[in-house]
Structure 1
């Protein structure tokens, strides 16, 4: 018996809307071979439609019989749709657990439509929405609090200056120490308040941005500040197009993250094996700030430091939260604000020996 030849893969105009979906959608022909896969499915299966069309979808899973069984049931129209949890096999990586929804199509006859969703996908989207909402609340709180602090600070400083001028000459030297403490501490708090308000004061200057020019600027600044013991590696995708954005804000964003990483790498620098990786890729069909984009910049700042302490890992983007003694806790807050002003998201994956800050920004 001759082997069954799979049908030719297709991207008909009638399926164009499926390319916009966040979920992976696959169409199988009557033989069980892949006839169509949208962009999200190509990402999930880590292969192109051209390559996928030469194999059966069930071969991608650790439990292929289960998928074949529910597809057969769908072709017999025993159910309107069938749902099944499957384990996607991935070379060199842990299996990815996905939820499948299988439906039979009237046309072409015998064809099956399968939607595949990562179990964690909806949790990730919910988490991003919560982070975005919490960030908005934090920014409003900080702005209001900073404005409330500014006015009395100015009065305290002014009163201390007047008091210093009226001090009797006999005790002026001793008492001026106290007034100077008041003035200096008021100035320190004023600087802190100004930093809290900085993202809301500076105008958003938009122009054409080449992300690799941004990264090269950050790299040169970092190597000038940390000339020995630190290696900064480049892993760039040269095909990434320019996009509209505020170049100075993006430089400050990456610099804040890289600078935090370098400070955490102090012990590795002494041993000469501190490393930061600047990596760029293109992501397809992603949701950023509740909006769906066909293309996005996928930027990673990775270091081999000790990792972020578990007790603050979920709060690192909150104002005044720092894992370093003497840190202001404003660098990552500022980075998050600038990324959100570019309609993007920033997230972090950290464990001992590996910390990855990932920035996703929409591309044209």
Structure 2
């Protein structure tokens, strides 16, 4: 909904600040309302909380200059509206996120500035320009990954039966061989057949096991992952907790979600080998409440935002767009199944997983909608 439509809906509400129509809380675009003279924020909708990664309570009372770091273009737009309250300012500008957020960097956004009926109050509405592009890209990647997983499942089924025959034939041949030296070759066949069988089982495993649904605390699950990773990497690695403990228990398959996060965190720890050696390796588990989110074209009132961030060398650029594909690995000897399984488990909870990576910072972002009683397919 545009700011011009908001203005008509807000008629009469400005004089009753800080009360504003409840429909503002349902808008997908971020909205702030602030006092014109002091520029202090008096209202923040959930989409703005999510965009700025700061709670409403923390934002209200701050100035626009603090929130957006004295953005010169934004200040000019506000000044124009203050001089001519009947005019609406609409522009594409670069906005900085609030200091302390995960991505403290500028990003292009479409911004609308509009005075309310009470000209002492100004409404700011914005949305990232790349939001739609990112949504389309995520949907395209999800479809592509799903097609690849279906192909791998079909191949796994086709491979499984011949493997059993090969292994059985090698065992029978071994019994018939009189020369023990030749049995070394049959053992190679048997062991390699077992290795391939294990790989096939891992490809099929996520689709065999039924969900075990229960209410559980996401932070207790993260603590389990943290203890497992630190047990394997006891020296040189720090795992920081940055939790929003206000999030209620969620309904899901606890073991699957633990495994998904463990796969990502374990990959991160393995990529941090040089940092671990020098004692500067760091992984951060960060949780936040996300409101009014859209996942796979479906709107949810509440979701959990989970970031797994490390300070490693980053994912190689040549595989960055394919890291969730089966058998794609950036590590020598890696199976390339850990992230594929993680994505499968997250998608089975109607969530999504994405990754942004550069040298010094890799951020896996998981978002899972909050459900209390609905059964997950």
Please confirm whether the aligned pair reaches a TM-score higher than 0.5, indicating the same fold: yes
2:266 to 259, 270, 291: 259
- Maintained 8 Å contact 1:252/1:335: yes
- Report the alpha carbon displacement of residue 303 of structure 1 after superposing the two structures with TM: 1.8
Match of 1:151 in 2: 161
- Maintained 8 Å contact 2:81/2:114: no
1:127 to 127, 137, 154: 137
1:141 to 151, 162, 175: 151
Q: Whose radius of gyration is greater, 1 or 2?
A: 1
Once the two structures are superposed, what CA deviation does each residue of 1:38-82 show, in whole Å capped at 9, x if it has no partner?
322344465748966897899975223345547988936xxxx87
2:357 to 331, 342, 350: 350
Once the two structures are superposed, what CA deviation does each residue of 1:92-127 show, in whole Å capped at 9, x if it has no partner?
55444321357899x889998764221121122112
Return closer, same or farther for 1:56/1:224 CA change in 2, 3 Å cut-off.
closer
Return closer, same or farther for 1:324/1:42 CA change in 2, 3 Å cut-off.
closer
Return the alpha-carbon distance in structure 2 between the equivalents of residues 316 and 139 of structure 1: 13
User: What secondary structure does 2:72 align onto?
Assistant: coil
Return closer, same or farther for 1:131/1:303 CA change in 2, 3 Å cut-off.
same
Return closer, same or farther for 1:226/1:190 CA change in 2, 3 Å cut-off.
same
Return the alpha-carbon distance in structure 2 between the equivalents of residues 234 and 112 of structure 1: 37
User: What are structure 1's unaligned runs of at least 5 residues?
Assistant: 1-5
Return the alpha-carbon distance in structure 2 between the equivalents of residues 104 and 235 of structure 1: 37
- Report the alpha carbon displacement of residue 330 of structure 1 after superposing the two structures with TM: 0.6
Task: Give the alignment of 1:25-44 within 5 angstroms.
Answer: 25=31, 37-44=44-51
Return closer, same or farther for 1:230/1:88 CA change in 2, 3 Å cut-off.
closer
Return closer, same or farther for 1:85/1:155 CA change in 2, 3 Å cut-off.
same
Return the alpha-carbon distance in structure 1 between the equivalents of residues 82 and 132 of structure 2: 25
Match of 2:17 in 1: 9
- Maintained 8 Å contact 1:36/1:49: no
Return closer, same or farther for 1:297/1:326 CA change in 2, 3 Å cut-off.
same
Match of 1:100 in 2: 111
- Report the alpha carbon displacement of residue 291 of structure 1 after superposing the two structures with TM: 1.8
Match of 1:181 in 2: 188
1:88 to 85, 95, 99: 95
Return closer, same or farther for 1:192/1:60 CA change in 2, 3 Å cut-off.
same
Task: Identify the range of structure 1 (194-203 vs 229-238) with the bigger mean alpha-carbon deviation.
Answer: 229-238
Match of 1:20 in 2: 26
1:283 to 284, 290, 304: 290
Task: Identify the range of structure 1 (220-229 vs 187-196) with the bigger mean alpha-carbon deviation.
Answer: 220-229
User: What secondary structure does 2:136 align onto?
Assistant: helix
- Maintained 8 Å contact 2:44/2:59: no
Return closer, same or farther for 1:286/1:101 CA change in 2, 3 Å cut-off.
same
User: What secondary structure does 1:75 align onto?
Assistant: coil
Match of 2:347 in 1: 340
User: What secondary structure does 1:358 align onto?
Assistant: strand
- Maintained 8 Å contact 2:215/2:249: yes
Match of 2:303 in 1: 296
Return closer, same or farther for 1:96/1:74 CA change in 2, 3 Å cut-off.
farther
Return the alpha-carbon distance in structure 2 between the equivalents of residues 68 and 47 of structure 1: 27
Task: Identify the range of structure 1 (114-123 vs 37-46) with the bigger mean alpha-carbon deviation.
Answer: 37-46
User: What secondary structure does 1:336 align onto?
Assistant: helix
User: What are structure 2's unaligned runs of at least 5 residues?
Assistant: 1-13, 372-377
- Maintained 8 Å contact 2:81/2:89: yes
Return the alpha-carbon distance in structure 2 between the equivalents of residues 71 and 128 of structure 1: 40
- Report the alpha carbon displacement of residue 35 of structure 1 after superposing the two structures with TM: 7.8
Return closer, same or farther for 1:208/1:16 CA change in 2, 3 Å cut-off.
same
Return the alpha-carbon distance in structure 2 between the equivalents of residues 180 and 355 of structure 1: 42
User: What secondary structure does 1:148 align onto?
Assistant: helix
Task: Identify the range of structure 1 (150-159 vs 20-29) with the bigger mean alpha-carbon deviation.
Answer: 20-29
Task: Give the alignment of 1:195-206 within 5 angstroms.
Answer: 195-206=202-213
RMSD: 3.3
Return closer, same or farther for 1:215/1:113 CA change in 2, 3 Å cut-off.
closer
Could you tell me the TM-score, scaled by structure 1's length?
0.82
- Maintained 8 Å contact 2:69/2:98: no
Q: How many residues align?
A: 349
- Report the alpha carbon displacement of residue 257 of structure 1 after superposing the two structures with TM: 1.1
